[in-house]
Structure 1
C-alpha cells in the first residue's frame, strides 16, 4: 500500500505542468469574476457527476440527473443514476465546506459516511487538519450548545442516509448478489463488483489505505499545486482507499486545488477533462505517462471551462436582449437564471421553480427563444448548448 513518490523534477513533466498551471490560473481568474459564474459552477456539478460515471464505465444522461435531483424522475432511478446523484451531492458538499475540510480526518470520515460530524469552523489550525488520524481534534463548543445539538442531529441523519444507501445498493443488484451478500455476512467474504462497488469487502482495510494516501499529502504540498494534485490522484488510483467510492478521488483533486488556492473560485470539474485522456494513458504501468495524462486532463478541464463561460455569457446576452422591455414582474428573468444554472430544463421543472403552470412554462420558453435539446414528443427539454 505504500506509494512511491515520483521525481518532481522530471524534465518530461515540465510542458504538461506549465500548461496545467497556466490553464487553471486563467480559468480561476475568469470564473471568480464572471457574470455567469454561479450558473457555471452549478452546471459544472452536473457535468462532472455524469463524467465520473462515464469514467467508471457507466452511462448516465445529464437530463435524467437533473430531473432526479429535482425529485421529478420520469421513471424509477437506476443504480448508476443513484451513484451519480451521490457524486453530485458530494460535490455540493465540498463547494459549501471550507477549502481544507475535505482533506482533514473529519472531512474524509464524513465523506465516506463514517465518524461524527463537527460544526463547520471559520478557521482550524493546520495541525488539527493534518494531524494523526487516531487523534481527535474537536473545537471547543461548550459555549454553543445549539451547534452541538445540530451536529448530533446531522450525524444521525447522515448515518440513516448511509444505511439507506447501503440497502439500496444491495437491492439494486441481481437476486444472486443479494443472496451472496446475505451468505457472506455469515460464512464468507464477498468480492466487490467493479468500480461502482455494489457490495462491501470486509478484507479491504479502508482506514489503513486512507492513512497511506494521506501520508502523501505533505509531499504533495511541497510541489506545484497542479503537480501535487496529480500525484495525489495517482496515489488514490494506486492505493484505492475506497472501493465503493472510488469516484471520490477525482473530487478530492478539485478540493486540493481549492485548498492550495490554485482554483479557489469553485471545485474543479476534473472528470470532464479526464474523459479526454485515453484509458491506456490513465491506466498505464508507467507512472510518468499517468502523471502527464493527469496534468493534461487539468489543462483540458480548464479549456472546457473557458469555453463554457464564453458560451454561457453569449447566451445570457442574447436572452437579456429579449427581455429588455418586459414588465418588472415578468418571470422571464427568473427563467434566464434557471436555464443558465441547469444543463437542461423541462416544462414541469420550470413550472415548479417559477410557480407557473406547465402551459405557462411553455409560453415563457417560446418567448425567451431557448433552444430545444431533446426533440422528443413525450419529453421536451431546453438548454444552452
Structure 2
C-alpha cells in the first residue's frame, strides 16, 4: 500500500506547521539544559505511555503503571496495563539508542519486542556520559535487561534441543494453527506494510521536520503496518523528530498532545484535516512540556528549601530527584531506592511536605502535580 505525497497543500499547512516548529524548538532548548531535565525525560515516558492507550481508546491509572514498572503492583495487572508497560519499555529502548537507530529495521524490531531484538547502541550527550558511571538506576535496568536476555537465550536453546530430539513432530505455522484466519489475516503482510511505511521516510526527509513527522504519522494511520502494536507509530514519529535533530533533549511525548485533539479530526477522511490536527496536537504536547518543566522546577526549588542545615549525607536530595523522575512514588519505592525502611521513607517524605495523591487505604503515593 503506497502513501501518495503528491499535491500536498503546503500553503494551507503553513500556519499550523510554523506554530508546531516554533513550540518544538522552544521546548527542546529549555529541556536540553534544564535543571530537572532527567526527571522530565523519565516522567515523559510514563505520561506518553498512558496517552498512547488513551489515543487508542483505553484508559489506565498512571499510578498503576508506575507501581507495575517498579514490580509493586497493588492489584493484578490488566491487559491494558500490560500494553502500557510495553509502550513504556519501547520508549526507553528508543531513547537509549542512537537518534536514527529507532527507524532502522533493528530499531523497529527492538521496539516491537520481537525475538530479533538487538541491544541499542547508546549515544549520550557529553554531560550524561560523564555522569553515567554513577547512575545506579541505569545499572539496575541494565542488569534486568541482561537477565531477561539470558532467560530468552536459555529458552531458545531448550526449544532447539526439543526440536532436535523430536524430529517427527511437525511445528504448526500461523496458517495451520489458525485455519479459519480468526487471528492471523493471510492477506496482512506486516513486513511489506512496514516496508511501504519506511519508504515514506525518504519523502518526509524533504519536508520540514514537523511536517515530515505529521506525514509519517498519517502514513502509519493509513497503512496500518502492525495489527497488535498500532501504538508504535507515535513512538517512531517521536524518534523521527529526534533523528531530524528537532527534539534532541528527550523522546517527544506526542500522545500527550494528541489527547487534546478530537477523535473526529484525528481520524477524518480528509488528509488535510488529519495533518492539521496532528500539527496542533504536536504544538499542544510541546506546550504541556513547557508547563511541566515550570512545575518541576518550582517543586524542586520548594523542596530544596527544606535541605537547609541538613547533614551532608542526608537522603533527602536523592529522594527529591526520585520524586521528580516519577509521576507518583510509594513508601516502598522510596525505601528500596534510598535503602531505608518503609517507616523511614514515610518520615523522609513528611519532612519534604510532598502532596499525597492517591487517597487510598491500601497504599499511599506522593508526587508533583
Would you call these one fold, judging by a TM-score over 0.5?
yes
Q: Which residue of 2 aligns with 1:58?
A: 58
Relative to 1, partners in 2 of residues 1:248 and 1:122: Cα closer, same or farther, differing over 3 Å?
closer
Q: Which residue of 2 aligns with 1:107?
A: 107
Relative to 1, partners in 2 of residues 1:42 and 1:3: Cα closer, same or farther, differing over 3 Å?
same
- Count of residues paired in the alignment: 331
Residue 262 (str. 1) matches residue 246 (str. 2) = yes
Q: Quick one: which of 351, 356, 360 aligns to 1:372?
A: 356
Q: Quick one: which of 182, 185, 193 aligns to 1:190?
A: 182
Contact 2:204 2:216 in 1 (8 A): yes
Deviations 1:335-368 (A, max 9, x none): 1011000000111111111111111111111100
Relative to 1, partners in 2 of residues 1:114 and 1:77: Cα closer, same or farther, differing over 3 Å?
closer
Gap regions ≥5 residues in structure 2: 124-144, 157-173
Q: Which residue of 1 aligns with 2:201?
A: 217
Matched residue of 1:273: which SS? helix
Contact 1:184 1:190 in 2 (8 A): no
Contact 1:213 1:236 in 2 (8 A): yes
Give the distance between the partners of 1:158 and 1:29, measured in 2 at CA. Answer: 42
Please state how far the C-alpha of 1:156 moved relative to its aligned partner: 7.7
Deviations 1:36-84 (A, max 9, x none): 0000000000000011111111111110000000000111111110100
Relative to 1, partners in 2 of residues 1:379 and 1:184: Cα closer, same or farther, differing over 3 Å?
farther
Q: How does 1:37-186 map to 2 (within 5 A)?
A: 37-114=37-114, 116-118=116-118, 120=120, 154=149, 157=152, 185-186=177-178
Give the distance between the partners of 1:55 and 1:9, measured in 2 at CA. Answer: 26
Gap regions ≥5 residues in structure 1: 124-149, 162-181, 192-199
Give the distance between the partners of 2:42 and 2:267, measured in 1 at CA. Answer: 30
User: Between Structure 1 and Structure 2, which shows a larger proportion of helix residues?
Assistant: 2
Relative to 1, partners in 2 of residues 1:202 and 1:363: Cα closer, same or farther, differing over 3 Å?
farther
Deviations 1:228-250 (A, max 9, x none): 00000000000000111100000
Relative to 1, partners in 2 of residues 1:98 and 1:184: Cα closer, same or farther, differing over 3 Å?
same
Relative to 1, partners in 2 of residues 1:309 and 1:6: Cα closer, same or farther, differing over 3 Å?
farther
TM-score w.r.t. structure 2 length?
A: 0.84
Matched residue of 1:58: which SS? coil
Contact 1:339 1:383 in 2 (8 A): yes
Taking only aligned residues, the RMSD between alpha carbons, in angstroms, comes to 2.4
Please state how far the C-alpha of 1:201 moved relative to its aligned partner: 3.7
Q: Which residue of 2 aligns with 1:147?
A: none
Q: How does 1:332-351 map to 2 (within 5 A)?
A: 332-351=316-335
Contact 2:97 2:121 in 1 (8 A): no
Relative to 1, partners in 2 of residues 1:300 and 1:158: Cα closer, same or farther, differing over 3 Å?
farther
Q: Which residue of 2 aligns with 1:295?
A: 279
Matched residue of 1:210: which SS? helix
Contact 1:36 1:309 in 2 (8 A): yes
